Amino acid sequence: MEYNQNKIRNFCIIAHIDHGKSTLADRLLEHTGSCSSRDMEEQLLDNMELERERGITIKARAVKLDYKAKDGTEYTYNLIDTPGHVDFNYEVSRSLAACEGAVLVVDAAQGIEAQTLANTYLAVEHNLEIVPVINKIDLPSARPDYVKNEIEDEIGLPAQDTPLISAKNDINIDAVLEQIKELIPPPAGDENAPLKALIFDSVYDSYRGVIVYIRIKEGSVRVGDRVRMMAHGSEFDVVEVGYMRPLGLEPTDVLRAGEVGYLTASIKNVSETSVGDTVTIAGNPTAEPLPGYRKAVPMVFSGVYPADGAKYPDLRDALEKLQLNDASLSFEPETSVALGFGFRCGFLGLLHMEIIQERLEREYNLDLITTAPSVIYKIGLTNGTEIMLDNPTNMPPPATIAYMEEPVVNASIITPNEYVGNIMELCQERRGIYKDMKYISGDRAELHYDLPLNEIIYDFFDAIKSRTKGYASFDYEMKGYMRSKLVKLDILLNGDMVDALSFIVHESKAYARARKIAEKLKDNIPRQLFEVPIQAAVGGKIIARETVRAMRKDVLAKCYGGDITRKKKLLEKQKEGKKRMRQVGSVAVPQEAFMAVLKFDE
């Protein structure tokens, strides 16, 4: 199809989890004849296994569709998928920046949810045109009129013409396609200006190197051009440009202003193609890069160790491979007395950490032990120097510390009014400092708190969800550092300190947490031949204690009629089980014990 900027529509889909984003995306693909349902792997856009299982989108994906409108005109639709979690908020905002519009999917039965609202506001902030659609219209509990009112009241959009659809049962999908054409403006941008393209995603491909997903804002890019990543400063010769099609990449000669596509340039590492960076032509650069570039900075650190020490090289290989695709993941080798050789890894947030761990375990078949996540503390020493600390094990002796500072975030929580009390209580428990609260609609409030990062990295997101029945949404950005009374909590098993279990905690919380951890360890350390005292200590002072009592009985009374093989197998299995535990001094500690201390709020 001839390039014609006026016939392009770039959009994303916004929906609450489960409200049918992926299903709608599938239908749009089908109805534009981009692929038949038979050759379409279900929910094509979410093509990572993990994403599909969790029902969330981790990395943005994009696809180009050909749409023949009812009036017979042919259009190019670029559907850009967005991640759906606060850890990836920045990626969401870059995806939105690549679009002119957003299809807002609202569940006909459940109406607008907090998360949808937050993302809708984000889209409005990016000046996107919103196309509301009401999905699951065929459910017996569907209330389309009520939901239409909600859309008008809470978002302020006219809703009379809102398509009533069922993505699942393929009802009225064509209306959505028409609305996209009608409501979303075509891109603007001078095709003849110097190149200005936004990177909104990149993936590593072992044949082509990094495939950079771009939205051309101005100018054009073709094979052979020498391009520069403006923030990163690196330059490459373009090897291939093209479009993302449902069933693979489609090379072309040139990408022009308004188009969405990819380029490859024998780039070895995704870290050179950061999301948000601006691509321009090296010899004819654009005057200003696009606004809003932000380097992905790890905020949460954790030690990652192979459960089986011999798998250390495998873990390194796996992390290297993941990093090719995920520039926000950082890692460097570290050693623990309890856990042996492993890596200190940096993550964007706790979900990011969980995702990386799960991918390591699933895709690389590794069994992992991770240590309690930590943030980066600032420590002023008595000798006048300042150090940054991301591993509690390396905390200097208390006598040499003049002061400590911890990172603080600006947190914003949007919640239905009825849960405001719960949220306030939670934030207070987490040492939050109340800033303000405003009512954003008849029954919703937005609260702002300053919260210490180390209070939210463990399970804050889950805690919010559980205290608001899943209705609240949460977002945060780094604010800075704040002086704080922090102490290092150490755990001793049978008198030996377990470095991997140490963590830094606010003084006021040390006792409670020490008790909790001692209890959890007691529940998770199996009985051994000896009694095992569990102690929690701050600066050498024991503040909590539990005991794992000695094993009373582990004996096989009888060997059945000479069936020695059965007994042998049983003992060999037992031996295998023990191998999976870590020997800390004289105590065998199972993997679960290390993991259990990560979860406080249960």
- How far apart, in Å, are the Cα atoms of 152 and each of 112, 147, 160, 166, 340? 11, 9, 9, 21, 59
In total, the chain counts a number of residues equal to 602
Contacting range for another protein; rule: CB under 8 A; set: 6-14, 85-93, 414-422, 569-577: 569-577
287 binds another protein (CB under 8 A): no
> SS in 3 state form for 434-453?
EEEEEEEECCEEEEEEEEEH
551 binds another protein (CB under 8 A): yes
Burial class (CB in 10 A: 0-12, 13-18, 19+), 139: middle
Contacting range for another protein; rule: CB under 8 A; set: 131-139, 198-206, 423-431, 550-558: 550-558
570 binds another protein (CB under 8 A): yes
Cβ(392)–Cβ(490) below 8 Å: no
Q: Is 335 left (phi over 0), alpha (psi -120 to 50) or beta?
A: beta
Task: Give 145 or 531: the residue with its C-beta nearer to another protein.
Answer: 531
Contacting range for another protein; rule: CB under 8 A; set: 33-41, 196-204, 471-479, 568-576: 568-576
DSSP per residue, 439-498: EEETTEEEEEEEEEHHHHTTTHHHHHHHHTTT--EEEEEEEEEEE--EEEEEEEETTEE-
580 binds another protein (CB under 8 A): no
Q: How far is the CB of 336 from another protein (least distance, A)?
A: 23
Task: Give 397 or 562: the residue with its C-beta nearer to another protein.
Answer: 562
Task: Give 196 or 582: the residue with its C-beta nearer to another protein.
Answer: 582
Q: How far is the CB of 337 from another protein (least distance, A)?
A: 21
CA 472 – CA 114 distance, rounded (Å): 6
Strands 386-389, 433-441: parallel, antiparallel or unpaired by DSSP? unpaired
Cβ(94)–Cβ(127) below 8 Å: no
- Interface map 469-508 toward another protein (x if CB under 8 A): ----------------------------------------
Residue 68 phi, psi dihedral angles, 5° rounding: -100, 110
Q: Pick from 66, 138, 443, 563 the residue near another protein by CB under 8 A.
A: 563
Contacting range for another protein; rule: CB under 8 A; set: 35-43, 120-128, 357-365, 522-530: 522-530
70 binds another protein (CB under 8 A): no
Residues 6+ apart with CB under 8 A from 90: 275, 276, 294, 296
Number of residues that bind another protein (CB under 8 A): 26
CA 317 – CA 530 distance, rounded (Å): 39
Q: How far is the CB of 580 from another protein (least distance, A)?
A: 13
385 binds another protein (CB under 8 A): no
DSSP per residue, 16-56: -TTSSHHHHHHHHHHHTTSS-TTTSPSSTT--SHHHHHHT-
Task: Give 70 or 558: the residue with its C-beta nearer to another protein.
Answer: 558
Here the tokens at position 251 are: 């090379």
Q: Give the number of other CB atoms < 10 A from CB of residue 18.
A: 12
Task: Give 310 or 557: the residue with its C-beta nearer to another protein.
Answer: 557
Cβ(564)–Cβ(508) below 8 Å: no
Q: Give the number of other CB atoms < 10 A from CB of residue 594.
A: 26
Cβ(27)–Cβ(43) below 8 Å: no
Contacting range for another protein; rule: CB under 8 A; set: 260-268, 379-387, 482-490, 563-571: 563-571
Q: How far is the CB of 491 from another protein (least distance, A)?
A: 24
Contacting range for another protein; rule: CB under 8 A; set: 8-16, 188-196, 358-366, 556-564: 556-564
564 binds another protein (CB under 8 A): yes
- How far apart, in Å, are the Cα atoms of 185 and each of 5, 11, 56, 118, 131? 10, 10, 28, 23, 11
Contacting range for another protein; rule: CB under 8 A; set: 241-249, 283-291, 376-384, 527-535: 527-535
Here the tokens at position 93 are: 């905002």
Task: Give 284 or 574: the residue with its C-beta nearer to another protein.
Answer: 574
559 binds another protein (CB under 8 A): yes
571 binds another protein (CB under 8 A): yes
Contacting range for another protein; rule: CB under 8 A; set: 188-196, 370-378, 438-446, 565-573: 565-573
Q: How far is the CB of 339 from another protein (least distance, A)?
A: 21
Q: Pick from 247, 297, 433, 529 the residue near another protein by CB under 8 A.
A: 529
Q: How far is the CB of 572 from another protein (least distance, A)?
A: 7
332 binds another protein (CB under 8 A): no
Q: Rule CB under 8 A: which residues touch another protein?
A: 528-530, 551-565, 567-568, 570-572, 574-575, 578
